[in-house]
Structure 1
Amino acid sequence: MNYERVAKQLIPLLGGKENIISAVHCATRLRLVLKDDTKADTKAIENIEGVKGAFSSSGQYQIIFGTGVVNKVYDSFVQEAGLQHVSADVHQEAVKQKMNPLARLAKTLSNIFVPIIPAIVASGLLMGLLGMMKAFKWVAPDSPLYVLLDMFSSAAFIILPILIGFSAAKEFGGTPFLGAVIGGIMTHPALLNPWGLAEAKPNYMHFLGFDIAMVGYQGTVVPILLATYVMCKIERGLRKVVPHAVSLLVVPFVTVISTGFITILAIGPLGNLLGDGITTVLNFIYHYGGALAGLIFGGLYSMIVITGVHHSFHAIEANLLAKLGVNYLLPIWSMANVAQGGAGLAVFVKAKLVKTKEVALPSALSAFLGITEPVIFGVNLKYRKPFIAAAIGGALGGAYVVFTNVVANAYGLTGIPMIAIVAPEGMQNLINYLIGFAIAVGSAFIATLLLGFREEE
């Protein structure tokens, strides 16, 4: 492929250089912010060599090239479009400006929680290893190896407010290290650590007419999000009025002390109340809705993916892990994702055009690895009926994993990689996950063949 030629072909089809605000790329897609998305000629763009699909979503115009190709196209594209000096931060801000409030909230939560995924996955795998060591009695519970692994596995959840504080402050336009300090205040050793101590009762301190429970916020999500948001508001407000000569001394000091008092007195308890409320509602739906809840959530999840709002679920899943120690939502999302792969695989089998097959197979395989956008936008949604078939598969798979109580001990992985965070919860948990996987893929595959689709010449 001639990447320079592809870049030159793209620019006029996107409405010219003057219509392109910024560009970045992910693992498979060139992500663009355009002044006017309607000027993009999607049909012509999809006929360019190497393009596997194009669509507009979540404030961005996205062109699918695939792994290993998109980065090379991007390098040529930014040169041709004159975007070499446009930073990723400028791109993110441009994306947000084009979104509606709900999508903007989802994007914000995504930007906060996605960077934390490696820490959560690592802790989940370590917890699984620790559980296996305990179940099979490989080592004694008081052995140094067991004690150290126990420390390693719980560390990310204990300091979760610090991780979120750093990431959220960066997203909210504050100083990340001040966000980490607020998280540190909320997890200070002087406060009772409730992580793993559900029956422990805290002491109380009488201050300014308030009875303050000396309990920490280790492993919580909502309180630190609210506290960091307030902190960034205070910090930005101070920077506007404090002279630059004393800004370094005054702004951090006033920001930390004021946010600390507000957090301990009001935000912390309120955030815990909101977090508990979300968990209670989800538990009610999960336990009393049963398989029906899985059927509905599994069937609708891919439609939520189209809007981009699904990224906000990371916050909810992190809260479930903090409160319950397990994540029962992720298996449902995984069923919806692999069902899209099953439908894409059926398109590959039934398609007659070489172009369709070239797009369908790798896109379907990427869905089995947890990356669904290529198969959703490049194949299934394009032909409509495969997308409906995938929704059927996701619903049936979702119903099964809820009925059999499949759970994960982390978030961020779906499809085949999710086996790593499902297996630690027991062999039966793993078997039921794999059965649900087969149900979702198989039913989506069969439904696609039965519903059929019409290829575009």
Structure 2
Amino acid sequence: MNTQFVNLTISAPVSGQRQALATIDDPVFAGGMMGAGFAITPVSGQVYAPVTGKVTMVAGTRHAVGIQTPDGFEILVHLGIDTVELQGQPFQVQVATGDQVQAGQPLATMDLKAITAAKKAATVITVITNSVARHAQLFLTEKRTLEAQAPVAVCCGRLNTAPPAADHAPADLAAPIIAAIGGAANVRGVIHCMTRLRFYLKDAQQAQTATIQALPGVINVVQAGGQYQVVVGQIVDSVYDAVIDQLGSQYARAPQAVRAQTWWARLRNAASAMIAVMTAAMMPVIGILAGSGILKGILAALTGFDVLSVHSGTYLLLNAIADATFYFLPVILGVTAAKKLGSNPIVLAIVGAILIYPQLVSAAGRSATAYVTFLGIPTHLVSYTSSVFPIIVAAWLGVYVERALKRVIPLYLRSVFVPICEALILSLIIIVGLGPLITMLSQALASWILAVYNFSPALSGFLIGGFYQVMVIFGLHWGLIPIVINDLATNGHSYINAILSITMVAQGGAVLAVALKTRHQRLRELSWAAALSAFCGITEPALYGVNLKYKRVFVVASIASALGGLLTGVLRVDNYAMSGALIGFPAFITPGVGLGPNFIGYLISHYGTLLLATGFVYWFGFSDRLVDEPVPNRQPLKA
């Protein structure tokens, strides 16, 4: 037998106070049933990979991640105690099953406030689940107050592993468990985590614990937190599916957990989860979006000063390079959002491509063809180029649609019919359902905003300035664009576009404040690029890369934007071209007048908004405490 030993260094997945497993309030982990390990009470919500390896499992409720190292150690990172009951709401996982991760790479985020509000412990548990098979010993550092990514333990184990445990048929294990807990009549609901079936029983005294513990494949039985927990290890997914098949889908719930949260808490958590998914899906393309935004701004300036003609080949090619990322954004987000939410990335990319299919985009742009019928259903076609929200909704729905299709389509037909049926269903839901709904809402909002502007430009500026970027997030801003275009085409100017320009400056000023204040190098670099892009009229990198991620930054920026819009309305600043922000200043030069009162109003309103947004966020909206990563050891920036 090969008795060679190998060492594995394990880093702290979070910053916080280390504690022994035996001291935590979870009998399965505390009793060492899942293997040797340690726990950390976190002080920040960013979770990092403790080792280098392959992601072997991500919990459906996003509260746990499994990683296998090249040497075969199996590491489980478990976020919180009994947090499976929260149905994934406080968690966002940044990796997917099959991904290769490096030690110290961002793994997930936890909403510590939401976990605490749900009266759960946020303790992060790290265990080596095959430590017994590897005859492994864990040697912890003496340091108890830890920074994330710092070495916390060394695991020493044999290279050879014990023979794999015999497989147990899930259906054969499910039936005796159900019988021993008192049958379906004694069950109120059942959920599962990474290792345990968690039954909510009407009468736990009816359960025959000794009988269940003796079943082959059952590791142990634990009663805690109002649950009857049957520990079965890594086969829990299959056993759970078999239990639900026998009990019925109506038992797949956690009645106590549902009642524990108010409707407001569920709504708030759902909104936070949606924003987190949107920002996470956007992060892989933030850099190129920022660069493309800067290039679009440069092109706008060159054409504004007649240095470059919009009809030239140079402009045509450069504009294609600058605009392609935005045009095909639904396709890109289809892939990234699907990976975050667990749906099929290829199918979602196809759905994104359907949404921006040239003939549909062309038809949506013409009033004569924008209103069509599909199987007799009146449908208003919408241009989804550069959109974010619809494809995120599709990625979320894709998980449930695919699951439903697999229930009704035979296994031998799934590879062909599941993808195309899923793409068909999701596309129709967006185009026939969500698109017209967004159109109605955006048109209603546009009409209301126009009426408010006719009543009071100052009030209209305040409201548009404060809420326009929120409208952008949900795609409701499209109702204002036709009004701006119509104003420019018929009147040669647009007061509303001047207010929209203010919102871009405010978001840019907010992310500029982050760039000036943060001591985190990666965030600073991203913020500088996002600020330049926003000043060029492209706010997506600022919105999704920084401001929405740190929600207080977005709120404070919106307040500054509302005040800037109010100032724009009071000064009656006008806009003379489909351009804006700081790079679009030529659009505020009054034709035939030059640098007159309107341009002065532009300077006052826009640079005033820049100062407000930057100052507000710098002093009230952002601090490095909001950043869930340890501050590097460097000298602070000079004032």
Shorter-chain TM-score tier: 0.5 to 0.7
Q: Alignment partner for residue 399 of structure 1, among 535, 541, 563?
A: 563
Q: Where do residues 369-388 of structure 1 align in structure 2 (5 Å cutoff)?
A: none
Write the letter of the residue equivalent to 1:74: A
Provide the residue aligned with 2:333 in structure 1: 164
Q: Secondary structure at the match of 2:369?
A: coil
Q: Alignment partner for residue 275 of structure 2, among 93, 104, 109?
A: 109
Q: What is the CA-CA distance between 1:144 and the residue it aligns to?
A: 0.8
Q: Distance in 2 between matches of 1:282 and 1:80?
A: 62
Provide the residue aligned with 1:217 in structure 2: 384
Q: Distance in 1 between matches of 2:325 and 2:273?
A: 23
Q: What is the CA-CA distance between 1:202 and the residue it aligns to?
A: 1.6
Provide the residue aligned with 2:401 in structure 1: 234
Contact 2:292/2:322, CA 8 A, preserved across alignment: yes
Q: Alignment partner for residue 76 of structure 1, among 143, 146, 150?
A: 150
CA separation of 1:144/1:442 partners in 2, compared to 1, >3 Å: closer, same or farther? Answer: closer
Give yes or no for the alignment of 1:436 onto 2:600.
Answer: no
- TM (norm. structure 1) is 0.55
Contact 1:33/1:59, CA 8 A, preserved across alignment: no
Q: Alignment partner for residue 342 of structure 2, among 151, 160, 173?
A: 173
Provide the residue aligned with 1:11 in structure 2: 18
Q: Secondary structure at the match of 1:157?
A: helix
- TM (norm. structure 2) is 0.41
Contact 1:222/1:272, CA 8 A, preserved across alignment: no
Structure 1 residues 167-196: Cα deviation after superposition (integer angstroms, max 9, x where no partner): 33334321122111112112212324378x
Q: Distance in 2 between matches of 1:317 and 1:260?
A: 18
Q: Where do residues 200-215 of structure 1 align in structure 2 (5 Å cutoff)?
A: 200-202=367-369, 207-211=374-378
CA separation of 1:438/1:191 partners in 2, compared to 1, >3 Å: closer, same or farther? Answer: closer
Q: What is the CA-CA distance between 1:135 and the residue it aligns to?
A: 1.3
Q: Distance in 2 between matches of 1:209 and 1:258?
A: 17
Write the letter of the residue equivalent to 1:124: G
Provide the residue aligned with 2:324 in structure 1: 155
Provide the residue aligned with 1:269 in structure 2: 436
Q: Distance in 1 between matches of 2:373 and 2:15?
A: 69
Contact 2:20/2:39, CA 8 A, preserved across alignment: no
Provide the residue aligned with 2:310 in structure 1: 141
Structure 1 residues 282-320: Cα deviation after superposition (integer angstroms, max 9, x where no partner): 7777855256558988xxxxxxxxxxxxxx959627654
CA separation of 1:341/1:109 partners in 2, compared to 1, >3 Å: closer, same or farther? Answer: closer
Q: Secondary structure at the match of 1:201?
A: helix
Write the letter of the residue equivalent to 2:287: P
Write the letter of the residue equivalent to 2:276: S
Q: Where do residues 34-433 of structure 1 align in structure 2 (5 Å cutoff)?
A: 34-35=80-81, 56-57=112-113, 59=115, 73-76=147-150, 79=153, 100-113=266-279, 114-115=282-283, 116-193=285-362, 197=365, 200-202=367-369, 207-211=374-378, 216-277=383-444, 289-290=459-460, 292-293=462-463, 313=470, 316=473, 320=477, 324=481, 328-333=502-507, 362=519, 399-400=563-564, 402-404=566-568, 422-426=581-585, 432-433=605-606
Q: Distance in 2 between matches of 1:273 and 1:163?
A: 27
Q: Distance in 2 between matches of 1:432 and 1:270?
A: 34
Write the letter of the residue equivalent to 2:356: T
Q: How many aligned residue pairs are there?
A: 348
Report which stretch shifted further, 234-243 or 216-225.
216-225
Structure 1 residues 33-90: Cα deviation after superposition (integer angstroms, max 9, x where no partner): 44399xxxxxxxxxxxxxxxxx94455979xxxxxxxxx94322575799xxx9xxxx
Q: Distance in 1 between matches of 2:395 and 2:14?
A: 41
CA separation of 1:433/1:362 partners in 2, compared to 1, >3 Å: closer, same or farther? Answer: farther
Write the letter of the residue equivalent to 1:425: G
CA separation of 1:274/1:290 partners in 2, compared to 1, >3 Å: closer, same or farther? Answer: closer
Contact 1:332/1:402, CA 8 A, preserved across alignment: no
Contact 2:351/2:427, CA 8 A, preserved across alignment: yes
Q: What is the CA-CA distance between 1:212 and the residue it aligns to?
A: 5.0
Provide the residue aligned with 2:47 in structure 1: 24
Percentage of pairs with the same residue: 19
CA separation of 1:261/1:436 partners in 2, compared to 1, >3 Å: closer, same or farther? Answer: closer
Contact 2:48/2:149, CA 8 A, preserved across alignment: no
CA separation of 1:183/1:101 partners in 2, compared to 1, >3 Å: closer, same or farther? Answer: same
Q: Which runs of no fewer than 5 residues in structure 2 stay unpaired? A: 1-9, 25-37, 50-76, 84-110, 117-121, 124-145, 157-193, 195-259, 482-496, 529-541, 575-579, 587-598, 621-639
Q: Distance in 2 between matches of 1:216 and 1:393?
A: 28
Provide the residue aligned with 2:637 in structure 1: none
What RMSD over aligned residues (CA atoms) do the two structures have, in Å? Answer: 5.8
Q: Distance in 2 between matches of 1:271 and 1:375?
A: 26
Q: Secondary structure at the match of 1:170?
A: helix
Q: Distance in 1 between matches of 2:291 and 2:396?
A: 27
Q: What is the CA-CA distance between 1:134 and the residue it aligns to?
A: 0.7
Q: Secondary structure at the match of 2:310?
A: coil
Write the letter of the residue equivalent to 1:166: V
Q: What is the CA-CA distance between 1:162 and the residue it aligns to?
A: 2.1
Write the letter of the residue equivalent to 1:103: N
Write the letter of the residue equivalent to 1:233: Y
Larger strand percent? 2
Q: Which runs of no fewer than 5 residues in structure 1 stay unpaired? A: 38-54, 63-71, 87-96, 298-311, 346-360, 378-386, 408-420, 448-457
CA separation of 1:140/1:400 partners in 2, compared to 1, >3 Å: closer, same or farther? Answer: closer
Write the letter of the residue equivalent to 2:385: Q
Contact 1:294/1:395, CA 8 A, preserved across alignment: no
Structure 1 residues 90-115: Cα deviation after superposition (integer angstroms, max 9, x where no partner): xxxxxxx9974323333323322432
Write the letter of the residue equivalent to 2:342: G
CA separation of 1:143/1:20 partners in 2, compared to 1, >3 Å: closer, same or farther? Answer: same
CA separation of 1:24/1:337 partners in 2, compared to 1, >3 Å: closer, same or farther? Answer: same
Q: Secondary structure at the match of 2:47?
A: strand
Contact 2:465/2:565, CA 8 A, preserved across alignment: no
Contact 1:204/1:212, CA 8 A, preserved across alignment: yes
Contact 2:11/2:153, CA 8 A, preserved across alignment: no
